Amino acid sequence: MEDMTDTMRTSMSLDGDVDKLAAHYRTWADEYDADVAGHEYGLPASMVRTLVEALERLEPDAPARADGVAVLDAGCGTGLVAEALHAAGWTALDGVDLSEEMVDKAAERGIFRSLRGGVDLTVPPDDTLRHSAAIVTVGGVFTVGHVPPSALGTIAELVEPGGLLVASFRRAYIDGTDLTAEIERLEAAGTLEPLVHLADQPYTMDSLGDFHAWRVPG
Ligand SMILES: C[S@@+](CC[C@H](N)C(=O)[O-])C[C@H]1O[C@@H](n2cnc3c(N)ncnc32)[C@H](O)[C@@H]1O
């Protein structure tokens, strides 16, 4: 595997400080796709595979349905996960992110129904976002220096009752945080019902990652 770029390395050194993260992604937005998508970015395809497996698990006899089902991509960045979802048939796509500049780049793809910047996923969602999507995806956000494991609970609040949450977790993040305990806590509390866990899947050029899908009973 290739080594990561200096910009990627810096993004992982910001200790989850939302002001520093917003400032970093402000300056990275223009080059993000060239830095990330140009280098074995397996994460979007792994997200789609996890979602498809979750839908097949829920309805084994039905084809995994994409058409018409709204997907909210949380931490959408420039829209690389949404682009993979779109290619797989999901066309009702909304996106939110902390960074206004990353969202501006996402808008240029022309595949989103709506986009919103300035959304901090570490705090409970406002009423317009709470329970707003049947499927919520969050790719590349549970990574070193970004959001804490406790954000999994606040992001789950975006999902409509009975909907799905699909999330990626960088290997070093899993090993370096209390993520596993937080997942166990949320599953034991019934906040998240496990459907799919794909371990050590293609993630970035320098790392594998785990991908989970949960049903969110609400
Ligand atoms: C590595 S990028 C991933 C972007 C996109 N999902 C992708 O796969 O290319 C991480 C994204 O998380 C966003 N982010 C970081 N901290 C955040 C927070 N507290 N709330 C919302 N978004 C955040 C950043 O602005 C950035 O767009």
**Per-residue pLDDT tens over the stretch 78-115:** 999 999 999 999 999 999 999 999 999 999 999 999 99
Alpha carbon distance 168, 43 (integer Å)? 8
Sequence-ordered alpha helix ranges (H) in the chain: 6-11, 18-36, 43-58, 80-87, 100-107, 151-156, 171-176, 179-188
Report the pLDDT averaged over residues 56-79.
87
Which class is domain 6-216?
Answer: alpha beta
pTM to 2 decimals?
0.96
The values of phi and psi at residue 88, to 5°, are: -90, 0
What do you get for the CA distance between the two ends of the chain, in Å? 40
Domain boundaries, the chain: 6-216
* Nearest protein CA to atom 23 of ligand 1, as residue: 98
**Per-residue pLDDT tens over the stretch 140-150:** 999 999 999 99
> How sure is the predictor about 1, in pLDDT bands with cuts at 50, 70 and 90?
very low
State both tokens at 117: 């910047």
Report the separation in Å between the CA atom of 56 and the middle of ligand 1, taken as the mean of its atom positions: 28
* Nearest protein CA to atom 16 of ligand 1, as residue: 146
